[in-house]
Amino acid sequence: MNFRRLETLGFVIGLFLSIQLSYIHPDEHFQSLEVLACRIFGINGTIPWEFQSETAARSFVPLFLNYGPLLCVLKFIKVNNPLVILRLVRIQNYLIFMATSRHVMRKLFGGDAIGAKWCNFFIATSYISGCFQSHSFSNSLETIVLLIVLALYNELLCHGGGYKISCLAGFLIALGCFNRITFPAFILFPSLVVFWRFFRTHQGPLVLLLMSSVVSSLVFVLIDTRMYRSSEFTITPLRNLLYNFDEANLEKHGLHPRYQHALINLPQILGPAVLLINPSRHSFRKGTNGLIVSAIISGLLFLSIFKHQELRFLLPLGPLVFACLNPINSIASINSALIIKLWLVFNAILGTIYGVYHQGGVLKVLGRFQEQKAVDVHVWWKTYSPPTWMYMNEELVVSTTMLKQGIETVDQIPFETVRNHVVDLKGCDEELLNSTMSSFLENGANVKLIAPDSLAGRLDRLQASGSLKLSLSDRISGHLDLDHLDISDLSTFQPGISVYSVDLIK
């Protein structure tokens, strides 16, 4: 096997996956591009609760640092095609991640060229790199910041000195915390290692690191306070932390067993390569001084305390666990070449699912809608929430369902607004879908329904038993809906997403 060629091919495939229109999780839009695009391009969209002044729980600073320059350039040169913007953002994320991980691993492995080679191979051929790291998750930026901080820590341990390094590390630690409140979970144990082995006897750099972190945090607070136009200091990480400490809030996003990260999510990142783990490789004792292992343990331990556990939360551990893989000396007693072949097949399958087809029709439909100067009423049902920034519409009105005493209602939807109106009905039942579209039609609206083909059978039954007529106006086959699969109804396995024109039966 020519591993250098496989690594190059993996990089190219990852770049290809980065420009595909898969949609992995709503947060990749609604905690980044949705917010920035509305501000920079002057359009209307969906502003999530985390970015509203009354409940501000997310900082603007990491977003503007990471995406602001690119979006401002695109606005200056008058690029307003949302699919082009999205693809350029993902290419940027992917290239920054690949360059950063390669540089950092070379530093962390020191003279162990073989260890760095294997680590770079697994990073380049992992579906995580092309599918998740390229998407605009806050977790993707968290990975970059963590890797750089670990490289700076390693520089302190290996070469001493460190006033400039300590100052930069302090800034990045503050940035990591304002980006995601989970960042301290990854950096705590490595920080203890560096404190014991370096800062204990070098108080000057320690003081500078702390001062840099505090001053940076104060600047971030002032920026957020101004952005939110608040009359009092807005400390977004504190608000976010308090929100997540309340299990009732986490229940809204889904609760998982505490072993989810360790026994399900991490193996889903590693796949067959879990058999190649060798956490005691010599480079950990010499070059990295335990920083990689301590970061893995720290992240897994503290993130597992919270019951809301998604795979993307472990993205920062991806490059670190790949650094623990050694096909030459691992826990596997079978031929490591076979494991690597299985690894490649595993990543090809998941890369195709998550990188190409997963909810991909949502973004493709939006790309077609954006070509229209104005839209009527678009009702989205049983899809991921549409990233409404991709309409690039200055007059857009966005509505959704509300919970009233635990019951989903549409009481706050302005049915009299029949132009440039997007309605996200999420996963409501057919009765609410029927009444919502009927209310718009009675107000003289032209209604389009966007729904996955996996639910075509339910739409047929709705049409047969109600007063609505659905006429297919557009269909995209490259859409995979994994949220409504029902083994008792094979029609739910049908890929695709369709746009229907809706009319009242007279």
Q: Tens digits of per-residue pLDDT, 143-157? A: 999 999 999 999 998
Tens digit of each residue's pLDDT (9 = 90 or more) over 383-437: 999 999 999 999 999 999 988 877 889 989 999 999 999 999 998 999 999 999 9
| Whether the Cβ atoms of residue 474 and residue 499 lie closer than 8 Å to each other | yes
* CATH code linked to domain 362-504: 3.40.50
Distance CA 227, CA 116 (A): 42
| Whether the Cβ atoms of residue 430 and residue 396 lie closer than 8 Å to each other | no
Counting beta carbons within 10 angstroms of the beta carbon of residue 164, is it exposed (0 to 12), middle (13 to 18) or buried (19 or more)? exposed
Tens digit of each residue's pLDDT (9 = 90 or more) over 191-249: 999 999 999 988 999 999 999 999 999 999 999 999 999 989 999 999 999 998 888 88
Distance CA 170, CA 176 (A): 10
pLDDT value of position 334? 64
| Whether the Cβ atoms of residue 324 and residue 296 lie closer than 8 Å to each other | yes
Q: How many residues does the chain have?
A: 506
Provide φ and ψ at 330, rounded to 5°. -135, 180
Which is nearest to 52 in space by CA: 253, 304, 287, 229?
229
Question: With b meaning 16 or more CB within 10 Å and e meaning fewer, what string describes 270-295?
Answer: bbbbbbbbbeebebbeebbbebbbbb
Nearest-10 Cα torsion for 484, 486, 490, 493: 30
* Domain residue ranges of the chain, discontinuous segments joined by +: 3-357, 362-504
Count the neighbouring beta carbons within 10 Å of the beta carbon of residue 95.
15
Examine the pLDDT at 265 and tell me if it is beyond 90: yes
> What integer best gives the mean pLDDT of the chain?
91
Distance CA 390, CA 375 (A): 13
